[in-house]
Every structure is written in C-alpha cells, then in structure tokens.
Structure 1
Amino acid sequence: MFSKSLILALSLAGATAYTKKDREDAIKWITEEKGFPHLAAFDKMTPKMLKTVMTNYLNLVSPDALEFLTPLDLEVIWTATSAANNCEICLSFHAGALLGAEKPADEVATMAAGGVPKDPKMARLVIAAKYVLAHKGILLEREKLHLSSMGFSAEELVEVTFAVGQMTGLNLLYVHLIAEGVNIETFLKGAGPFKDTVYADELKKAEL
C-alpha cells in the first residue's frame, strides 16, 4: 500500500509555471556554481528538470559515488554507450572529457567510432558496456564467463549496467533535443564523431 504522504505528493505533482528568473537562476547554478559550459540543450529543459538532471549527473561523477567505477571509468563507459546510441552531444562531451584527461586521441577516436581501444583497462570497460547494451542489461552465460576472465565480478557488472542505463537515458533525452533543433556547440564538434567530415570546414575556420 502507498503511504498517505506519497499519495499526497503524487496528487500535487504536475505542470507548474516558472518565471524567467527561475530559468536564469537554474542556468546560473549549473554554469557559475557547478562550472559547466552553457549548452544550448539546457535552454530546452524546464528549470526544475535541468537542476534534477544535472544534480543526478554530478552525484554520479563524485569520487565516492560507486564502489568499483571511478569518474574516469564512467567517462569510458559513457563514451562507448553514447557511440552505440548515436548521441552526438553526449558522445562529444564524454570523448572530450577523455581527451582532457590526456587519453590518446586515436584511442578516443576508436571509441567514438564504436570500436574497442587497445588500452586493456579501457577495453574491458568498453566490452562490458557493449554486452550490457546488446541485450538491454541481460548478460549471456558465455558473456559472463568472458567478462570474468577480464577480472569483472558480479558486483562490478551491476555498477557497469547501472552506468550504461543512466547514460542511455541521457542519450534519449539529448537525441530528442537534437531532433527538435538544438544546436551543437563548436567545442563539442571538435571532439565528436563528425569532426573530420560534417564540421571539418567550420572547425578549420574556427582555428584561424
């Protein structure tokens, strides 16, 4: 049975109006207080949704959020997941984060193209993420055995599955926003999957 407080909360939930200041405050919170660049995608979210989305994200990348996976591990998993889900915004952002962490550009490009890097530590995370995605969280017995040979425990795979699921949800959101006309920032284009084709001329001009 649901508690009375939960029923009351559900009954009060719904669309509410927000002001221009509410939006400005939410943008200021994420850019000035949390240090994120102002993405055009943020302007398509309601202020409350933006704060909820970004609070959840920041909680995930805090150093002690998970037992096995570090924030950098998450960037690897999220790059692989975003590549598989073809989310340009997320893929570009997380590939850029890996480049910022001084991961080799060719390895990051391989992941952005949906491949497996040579680095053993990153490769095991990418392979695990691919298996989790392949069957929507279900791992076949032979896949479990293979991942076990790479040092994965059952508990670590639960964390990988959680990380993949969280990013898949964000991929759905940002692909939707791209489809609704959200522009991609130039700094994202330089780390993304279309840097050498669709955006090549634009990026060359930006360098001049």
Structure 2
Amino acid sequence: MRKLIPYTLLALFAITIVAMEAGKKQCPPEGSANPKKGKHAELKPREKNLNLHMNRETLPQASDFEKTVGIEDFYNSKDDSIFSEDKAATLTGYIFRASTNGMESCNCFTEDKNEYSTNVYLSPNPLTAETRLADCIVTVITPYSRSLHPDWTTDFFNYKMVGKKVKVSGWMIYNYLKGNLSVETNSNGTQPERRTIWGLCPVTGLEELK
C-alpha cells in the first residue's frame, strides 16, 4: 500500500497540471480587446483583420512575392493602400535598431513575454549619425518568426546586427494603428517612429549581405 501512495500523488499532480494548461485562455488569431476595458469590450472588425494578418503562421511561397516591390516603394508609398497584405516582399536595407513590443490586442494583452513581438527598424541607406527611426521601415519578428529562428531576439538584432546590410523577407502588413507615428501619414507628428505604416509582418527570412 505504501508503494501505491507516491504513484497516486504523481497521477494527481499530472492531472492538475493538465487541467491548468487546459484552463489557460488561448489567444485567437484575431486577438482580443484590452481586459481593462471590461469583459464585454470587443475589437472592431478592422483591428481583428489586422491581427489575423499579424498572427499569420504560414511561409510565403515564391508565387506570393511581389518581386517588383522594394524598400524604396515602401518609403515612398504615401501610406496609400497600393500593396496587398496577401502578398509578400523582400526588402534590402540596413538594420538601425530593434525594440520589443509589449501587450497588444494581437497577443490578447498577455503578460507572457515569450508572446511579444520585436520591431526591427530597417533603413534604406547606410547608417549615419543623422539616421532616425522616422527614416526606417518596420519589420516585425513575431513568435511565429522565432519558432522558425529562435535566435531572432531583440538582443540579437541590437548587439549583432546593427549597421549590417540585410535582405528581410515576409508578408506585407498595413498597420493603420500606427498612422499617428508615421511620417507618411502624420508629417507634423512630433515623435515619428517609422517612415510608413507599410511593413513586413511576420518576418520569415533574413539574409546578411556583404
């Protein structure tokens, strides 16, 4: 009888862990509203659609790439809806810096930092002392991107990739939520953080160029 007790405890422990995991709220691809706004808060359809694109977990195939679209096209887009979010692109530029995003509707405002994305800022020109965030295109490393390449962390880009010329590939994204932070949308903004609301998300390919 004594020998049965440890096995019984182990079984109960295992059942408890499984129940806890099953009880965790999973974040749907369309995301969710900030719980601080109340349990009945809902995202608008447009934001749900944006999150569906941001949370994609598929690799673009050769036929998905707009081969004529480059970083200059993004840079001069005027934030018009001239590209398709159902297409992918490859941008060539220089990594300026990276920053970690926090709780957002696309990750259901989770506190789990493993679910946070990383903005990698890509300059079309070699870096100088005058290079600004406002000169850059935002390419986003999502949890899906890191499932493909676990080393693609914010620290990796900041400590090993700044200033390097790269090709970045991924799905095109039109992040209208950042319009007030985009030079092309809000040229009079006091603290622009990007050239355009067009970017890549998720990033699925990265190649360092010599």
Same fold (TM over 0.5): no
Structure 1 or 2: more strand by fraction: 2
Q: Output the TM-score relative to the length of structure 1.
A: 0.24
Structure 1 or 2: more helix by fraction: 1
Q: Output the TM-score relative to the length of structure 2.
A: 0.24
